[in-house]
Structure 1
Amino acid sequence: MKHTLLLLTFFFSALFYGQSTLKGKVTDEDGSGVGSASVTVEEPGKDAIIAYALTNSKGEYTLTFTSEQSQVDVKVKAFNHRSTLKVVSNSSQNVDFTIQTEATEIKEVKLKTRLITKRGDTIAYDLNEFDSKSDRTLSDVLKKIPGIEVNSSGAILYQGEPINKFYVNGKDLMEGGYGTVVNALPKDAVQKMEVMENHQPIKSLQDKIPSENAAINIKLKNKVTMTGRGEVGVGMDPLLWNVKLTPMFFGQKNQWVLNYKANNSGESVENERNILAFGSRFEGTRRQAAQRSWLGVDRAQVPNVPEKRYLLNNVHYLSANLLTSPFKDKEWELKVNASYSNNSIERSSFRETIYEPSEYFPSGASARTDLSNDFYAQSAKGEVILTKNAKKGFFKNTTTWNGFWNDDRGMGRIVDSRTGTISMDQKLKSPSGMFQNSLSTIIPFKDKMVNVMSYISHQKDRQNLSAEYENFQDFEDYFGQNFSRLDQQLELQTTNINHSASVGFNVKRWTLSPEVGLNMSLNEMNSLLEGDGVALGEDFRNDMRWNELNPYTQLGINYKGGGLNMNITLPMNFYGITYKDQIRNTSQDISRSVFEPSFWGSYDFTSFWKLWAFANVNYNFGDFGSLYSGNILSSPQNIGNNDNLLPETRSTTIAPRLEYRNPLNNLFFNLRYAQSSVKRNLIARTTIFSSGANISELEYFDNTTRSSNQSAEIGKYFPKFKTNLSTTVSNRDNNGYSLLVNQSTGESNLIETETNGQSWSLKFNNSYFSWMSVDYSLSMNWNKNKNLFYGNEIKTSGWSHNLAAYFYPIENHTIGFFWDEGTTSQLDESFRNSFYDLSYQFSWAKKKMDFEVKWLNIAGTKVYEQISYNTSLLSTTRSSMQIRPSQVLFTVKFNFK
């Protein structure tokens, strides 16, 4: 850690050394300011721009640069004005320009705009320059833009970090759940996309409290737009359907999006409801509602390939989002969001696990496992949000209700080399409900800003797990007898209450925000385990209370300057936790006051370079579920018992990164480093059976795990060749501890493992040729796994690639070829999986309709195979997972207006 801090200190010093800032004004011969003039800094004799800026409407500019030269060239260019150059010393100073009017001769009528432009903290992308003939929606184009990444969950990343807001015409209709719009907004409706770096969404804080995240704003061609996207598809082998209907309206006062999607063709559209952007902490608390899954059936594995390859689903998803200004004061906005989904999924897999001879299994062992699942899930959500976001104040109240009704089934068959054939029939019913209300307001008081926040939530979960066994003997010694059926009943209730108040004081570019707050969490858990219909003893029952009281005080120090932004949070937190077991009449409590500082900062030291740094210290004294004395059957093959001391965890993280984004030559890259350590006082003591079953208990043992990660990413767009190329390399190191029971002696062995891994990925998009466009991605990984207890080391590797090639032999006709492939390797053994698709599409350009026929999984591949290694258990697992069959789908696609 000392070496890292020294390196960062040296890095910061090197960056600040030799830095100069130029300010000034560009005027014409009449003394009027010239807006949108470009001011560039170049080193003498070199045709390379080291910094640039655009003047505002008053002709003013500010730019910062770093150069070793004693003098630099400063050039000013503006439309219908003569270019001007000045040679100035390399120092901070004011440099004004007066430029003469001169008609700019346009040699051709055709005007060509920039692909990417930057003004201040906003970078604008002309999407028309990045799309290809096969693209139809916003998401199709976003994946091809340098500096932008769209991951598998639908979240948009800018320079590797998630965005905090997604706007359409400056309005946040979707409140973070923007996947629906990204996937269904026609690209033809979009004028440009803007990335707003360091975006603070609360207007009254924009000049006071900086933000570490960027936001995206989609500017449509028309201020009032009725648009959207629809698809209707049918297929066979078996009977298939795919329906997507997403009409949208974006006006100056009202916006709405309606969405109905249903399919059994392998697309999990219900994920579009997920919150992907959370905005500013001053907007209040928003949490992604989810069931607490303390119990679960054994789940079949899924392969590392695109979901459409293996997902056997039947889903119906309906959502509606509305934004309106209900009052004459247009700064008030009312948003109403609602959604419902009904989904069923089938899944199956087979795996064979072979254990090397060790103290766990002196003569070795093996197990072959067949698993199949049926998952049935229903969920509903309703949300009402009232907001006022003005320069002179802020108000936001969010009320949310979520309901979940899940029914999971599982059937397992295990051939154990030690105990023979085992079968398990599993069922889990788990209804849940959650209510949340969040209120945040910022009130200006003289030269201060007063912020009050309140959050209340209540969640109730019921989970009933039943398992019927045949020839399952691994738990016989633990129970004292062998049961043919186990039923685990569990009920959870949680109420969270969080209140805080802060005051912001402004001193020039500094904002000081002292804050006081109180967080409370009240939790109850009741559980009962039955064997063959008879309730077991107190060792298998729980009636537990876990209550937390966390008053805190903290000082927030924020600085927002021209190039430097930073936030330092200095909290003193008091943790009061009380655990009470009402069956055994035992209790534990803890009262600790800890200092948990955090820091993040960014520094723009030229127009193109930015340095980030993040660091924090965090303590954790356990969460609801960290401690309970009665045994719980968490899955048909796992019994857990957390009867021990209250846990204590201390984690530290430091993560600097360096960014370069140059819209002049369409080049973006970033370098990242992250180092963290986690110190714990408890460890799980686990008894492993060859069938895969295990019994886990907590034991006191101080242990510290460490991890570090280094990565570099570079992306460039080549406009001459209409090509976007990006590549990423990374290295990661981490260690881990496990306490495993020697079944021969009953003694425990402390196993330490170390993992070192490298990865490399490549993305390539090209639409240079009028008759073809290509999207291609490749990822490779190499891992070295060490077991220090046995002195064992093994190397594994894998790679995968995805190709989508489109050919346009005749106007309005498109032929598509798709190739996905994945490989995993260990020693001399390797599994390779290939998938191919073909499509033909006719476009009715006048009506903006597409007619597509697609043949998926042409080779008829039935399973995906892979190999993996467990470093702690010295076991090799070969797996095969069910794949969707070969199928043909006919789809009609169209725009709403």
Structure 2
Amino acid sequence: MTRFWFILLLLVAPLRAVNAQTQIISVSGQARCGTEKVVGALVTMLQPTDSSIVAYATTDKQGLYTLKATIQLSEVLLSISGFNIKRKTTRIKAHSQTFDFHVEEENKTLREVVIKSQKLWGNRDTLNYFVSAYTRGKDRSIGDVLQKLPGITIENNGVIKYQGTPINHFYIENLDMLQGRYNLATQGIKAEDVATVQVLENHEHIRSRQDQTPSERAAINLKLKDKVKGIWSKSANLGAGHNFDESLWEAMLQAMYFGKSKQHMLRYSGDNLGRSQEMGTDHYGFSSEGNSRMVSLVEHSSPPIGNGLFGYRHSINLNNLAKLSDSITINYNFNYSHNLASGHSFSQITYLLPNGEKQLLMEDIADRTHTHSANVQLIYEKNLQHRYLKNALSLWGRWNEGRGDIRSAHQNQLSMLNGTGGESSISQALHYRSLGMSNRTHWVHRTAKGGGFEWTSTNRVSTTPQTLIIGGERRAHQDIEITSISTINGFSLLRNLRTRKWTLSTSGNLNTSYTILTSALAHPNIPVAPHGDMNHLRSSVDLGPVAQYTSGAFQSKLSVPIALTYTALNNAVVEGEETDAHRLRLYLQPSFSLQWKATDYLTFNANAHYSASETPWRMLLTANVMQNYRSLSRYRATLDNSYGAGTHFKVAFKDIFTSMFAHLEGSWQRSWSDIAYGTTLDAQAHTIVEATYMPNHSNRYILTAYGRKDIDWHTLQIELSATRSWGKSEMLRQSVLTTYRTTGYALRGTLSFDIVSGYRLDYRSTWQRQRSTAPQHTFTHDELNQRAELSLRLWPSRLFLNLHASHTHNNSLTSERKDYLFIGSSLQFKLSKKVEFNLNGDNLTNIRSYSSRSIGDMENFYSEYYLRPLSITLTAHI
């Protein structure tokens, strides 16, 4: 292991860790206003860099206070505030001393300083969560604690949201080393190493844009404890176990350094436990990798509960940041993963046809896919008060090798009645490559009077060869190669919104994309256009005024750009068809947004937009393309427009005095077009994608209410959310445009509390109902999911037992079994502060298969998943 750490250290620039001296200081004194003693005032000791609280106290009846803190700072800020006195802040040397406050009287209601039982405090725009107050004995990583904080939720895919909206930055000590890959931090940083989690509401990272309309999104900043700053911290996990099928293993080696001018996170992890989440995934910001996949395997389905993923994974993540000055940083990151995913499932799809009949497709699917993914980033950022420059260079590659076998059967209305149908065996193989490079530049320049401009430019080139081979009774071979070149450029004039109510500026964009595609298809049922060559060029320039109104905490923005686009399309010649097209068009695409921070408790956001988009190049290829073994597509060279309009609103409430967070949001989306895209099913239930001139439209509405309340009594947490969605759409099937309606309801709840000290119960449940109605067909789907977790402290600070059970009830299943119960447990023993052992048992009820039913767009799905068996693993955390 020593050799491993040595090799990793050679991958980064040599560091010389300088350990600042830790000291305990005591500051005391008296507060006076004239000759009167100030009683009940709040005295806080703050860090000078970000004003986070180090210690606090209130003055007693004699106006006296005492602050004690363990710090590594040379200077601190001392601040006093209270009712009817003017806030005063002073910088002092960080050593024990006596300091008396002499304050002035001020008859003004304070809006800034609040504090809540040492757990949660903040001001109008920043919240601070004291991590140790939310940490339980079994919590290891900061991610375990984040999902318990009021106002913060973590989705199943790892996305962090605040008040229902994804965050836009994740800082560690005010530095964004990971550039969106924050799962590495949430799972890699120990909870005990974090002092405070900060939420920066309406966060604007660029200093020279902080006078503009603030973002709706928040950022998260981790404030580390002094003991882990400026030193290399190393950790390792080694685990082994077994189930009924194979031996199990997991390993993790990690080294981290968080200093004032440098940050490093070096990590290897791997296992064969069926973990599907990739920690190196981008969750915000600009993603460099494109998506030009046009062929794929028909793969096994993943169960909504239980674990149906077999295989292994390896990942290496080397993330580094160097702070050259207070305003200049450099990131150099490398992330690589290698996964083998395999699985087995059975599915039955019921297609609803416009004439009232049904068609069934049944598939028994087994597949395995090897995936290699790599990404290299080099980022330079200079963030000054009047100038900002960021350049991000990315290189990426992805390789997929997949194979699968399918036993397929189909039935139509007649064969369902007499019990007959056709069967076939299919083999499939996929070879996919994607290589690319992108460079993104962001430049902001401001003048002393508040004027200036903002410019962004993103340039990308990629190549994506891909092959799909079908064997068995129906052999086919599809080759596609795609080369894409694009440049996206934006420019806008900036005005200082704080000095005037009305401002008028201009914004514009200049974008060009060029796509080259070649395809070759060998298929027994394709007499026309088996080969294709397509060149697609699209250029657009838009320019328009931007009007903004600001009045105190109310801000609104209206943008009215006019876009001029030119498109040139060239396809391979198909006899009797028009395969080329050229067009010049003018579009108006207005948008409106507003934000109103009505009080410290209440915020309102709303936006509306109207847009027009042209037929994408994927739907202009006149050659036949086999997307998978059961789907063929062939389009016409018809350039047309699709239109969309929508609105969204959100009302957010927070009261950190009472730990109450809530929001209500709703949206409406409407889309319409003169070209309808749909499918025609043949006798084997295989689909042929088609496009035809047929005006169509759709409407969709969503309304969500959310609330969370924390109560000190038994550390009680209550969380509730309710969502209703409904809509009307039109679908083209069998060359008939069919109207169908959908309605959905979802109720989610969480209840957590301490039964007694050291014994805690966490319960959450989700109930969903979906209803789809089409002519002569109505489907309804009901499902209930519950999870209960009981945490027991058997030996204080040493031994913890965790028991968890998951239950699901699907009322739509036609079989007798509609309920499934999964049970698991873990025993955690802390040998010392640095050594810990975990004994984990998964799927103790040894359920090997799980069934579910759901509905889609004029389709009904039934699936049987084959799950991983009962397993036992022992893991050592060092």
Q: TM-score, normalised by structure 1?
A: 0.82
Q: Tell me if the contact between 2:41 and 2:82 (Cα under 8 Å) persists in the aligned partners.
A: no
2:136 matches 1:132: yes
Write the deviation string for residues 144-163 of structure 1: whole angstroms up to 9, x where unpaired.
11110011121110000001
Change (3 A) 1:99 1:365: closer
2:165 matches 1:161: yes
Q: Tell me if the contact between 2:567 and 2:583 (Cα under 8 Å) persists in the aligned partners.
A: yes
| Equivalent position of 1:403 in the other structure | 397
- Deviation (angstroms), 1:355: 6.5
- Once the two structures are superposed, the pairs formed by residues 211-610 of structure 1 within 5 Å of their partners are 211-222=215-226, 223-224=229-230, 226-227=232-233, 229-237=235-243, 238-269=246-277, 271-278=278-285, 286-305=286-305, 309-326=307-324, 329-353=325-349, 359=355, 361=357, 366-417=360-411, 419-447=421-449, 448-470=451-473, 484-506=474-496, 508-509=499-500, 512-531=504-523, 539-558=529-548, 562-584=552-574, 586-610=579-603
1:769 pairs with 740, 756, 759, which one?
756
C-alpha distance in 2 between matches for 1:819 and 1:569: 52
C-alpha distance in 1 between matches for 2:857 and 2:546: 44
Write the deviation string for residues 353-406 of structure 1: whole angstroms up to 9, x where unpaired.
466897374xx6544320111111011110000010111211100000000111
C-alpha distance in 2 between matches for 1:823 and 1:410: 31
C-alpha distance in 1 between matches for 2:385 and 2:848: 59
- Deviation (angstroms), 1:864: 1.4
Change (3 A) 1:544 1:189: same
| Equivalent position of 1:884 in the other structure | 868
Change (3 A) 1:244 1:290: farther
- Deviation (angstroms), 1:509: 4.4
C-alpha distance in 1 between matches for 2:584 and 2:81: 72
| Equivalent position of 1:638 in the other structure | 631
SS of residue paired to 1:721: helix
Q: Tell me if the contact between 1:37 and 1:55 (Cα under 8 Å) persists in the aligned partners.
A: no
Kindly provide the amino acid, as one letter, of the partner of residue 143 in structure 2. Answer: S
2:787 matches 1:802: yes
| Equivalent position of 2:69 in the other structure | none
Kindly provide the amino acid, as one letter, of the partner of residue 190 in structure 1. Answer: V
C-alpha distance in 1 between matches for 2:738 and 2:530: 29
Change (3 A) 1:542 1:122: same
C-alpha distance in 2 between matches for 1:558 and 1:169: 34
SS of residue paired to 1:273: coil
2:808 matches 1:822: yes
Write the deviation string for residues 491-538 of structure 1: whole angstroms up to 9, x where unpaired.
111101123333323361455442233100001111111147xx9765
SS of residue paired to 2:624: strand
1:835 pairs with 822, 836, 845, which one?
822
SS of residue paired to 2:718: strand
C-alpha distance in 2 between matches for 1:561 and 1:356: 54
Change (3 A) 1:257 1:767: farther
C-alpha distance in 2 between matches for 1:266 and 1:397: 37
2:690 matches 1:697: yes
Q: Tell me if the contact between 1:434 and 1:457 (Cα under 8 Å) persists in the aligned partners.
A: yes
Q: Which moved more, 1:384-393 or 1:833-842?
A: 833-842
Kindly provide the amino acid, as one letter, of the partner of residue 763 in structure 2. Answer: Y
Gaps of 5+ in 1: 1-26, 40-53, 58-76, 87-95, 101-110, 279-285, 471-483, 742-747
- Deviation (angstroms), 1:719: 2.1
Change (3 A) 1:78 1:777: farther
| Equivalent position of 1:872 in the other structure | 858
- Deviation (angstroms), 1:297: 1.3
Change (3 A) 1:290 1:799: farther
C-alpha distance in 1 between matches for 2:144 and 2:766: 20
Write the deviation string for residues 173-204 of structure 1: whole angstroms up to 9, x where unpaired.
11111110011111111111111111110011
Change (3 A) 1:864 1:504: same
SS of residue paired to 2:529: helix
C-alpha distance in 2 between matches for 1:82 and 1:342: 55
Kindly provide the amino acid, as one letter, of the partner of residue 711 in structure 2. Answer: F
Q: Tell me if the contact between 1:442 and 1:450 (Cα under 8 Å) persists in the aligned partners.
A: yes
Q: Tell me if the contact between 1:579 and 1:588 (Cα under 8 Å) persists in the aligned partners.
A: yes
Q: Tell me if the contact between 2:360 and 2:685 (Cα under 8 Å) persists in the aligned partners.
A: no
| Equivalent position of 2:105 in the other structure | 98
Change (3 A) 1:204 1:785: same
Q: TM-score, normalised by structure 2?
A: 0.83
2:680 matches 1:687: yes
Gaps of 5+ in 2: 1-30, 49-61, 66-79, 86-102, 108-114, 416-420
- Identity over aligned residues, as a percent? 21
Kindly provide the amino acid, as one letter, of the partner of residue 445 in structure 2. Answer: I
SS of residue paired to 1:733: strand
C-alpha distance in 2 between matches for 1:175 and 1:858: 39
Q: Tell me if the contact between 1:783 and 1:796 (Cα under 8 Å) persists in the aligned partners.
A: yes
- Once the two structures are superposed, the pairs formed by residues 178-197 of structure 1 within 5 Å of their partners are 178-197=182-201
SS of residue paired to 2:634: strand
- Report the RMSD for the aligned CA atoms in angstroms: 3.1
C-alpha distance in 1 between matches for 2:299 and 2:435: 24
C-alpha distance in 1 between matches for 2:339 and 2:333: 20
Change (3 A) 1:124 1:716: same
Q: Tell me if the contact between 2:661 and 2:707 (Cα under 8 Å) persists in the aligned partners.
A: yes
- Structure number with higher relative contact order (C-alpha < 8 Å, ≥ 6 residues apart): 1
C-alpha distance in 2 between matches for 1:333 and 1:36: 43
Change (3 A) 1:78 1:349: farther
C-alpha distance in 1 between matches for 2:683 and 2:121: 61
Q: Number of residue pairs matched?
A: 777
Q: Tell me if the contact between 1:644 and 1:698 (Cα under 8 Å) persists in the aligned partners.
A: no
Q: Which moved more, 1:825-834 or 1:189-198?
A: 825-834
C-alpha distance in 2 between matches for 1:513 and 1:705: 35
Kindly provide the amino acid, as one letter, of the partner of residue 460 in structure 1. Answer: T
Kindly provide the amino acid, as one letter, of the partner of residue 486 in structure 1. Answer: A
Change (3 A) 1:156 1:558: farther
Q: Tell me if the contact between 1:186 and 1:227 (Cα under 8 Å) persists in the aligned partners.
A: no
2:848 matches 1:854: no
C-alpha distance in 1 between matches for 2:231 and 2:594: 39
C-alpha distance in 1 between matches for 2:238 and 2:81: 57
Write the deviation string for residues 549-570 of structure 1: whole angstroms up to 9, x where unpaired.
0111133444566422333333
SS of residue paired to 1:204: helix
C-alpha distance in 1 between matches for 2:160 and 2:262: 25
| Equivalent position of 2:22 in the other structure | none
| Equivalent position of 1:46 in the other structure | none
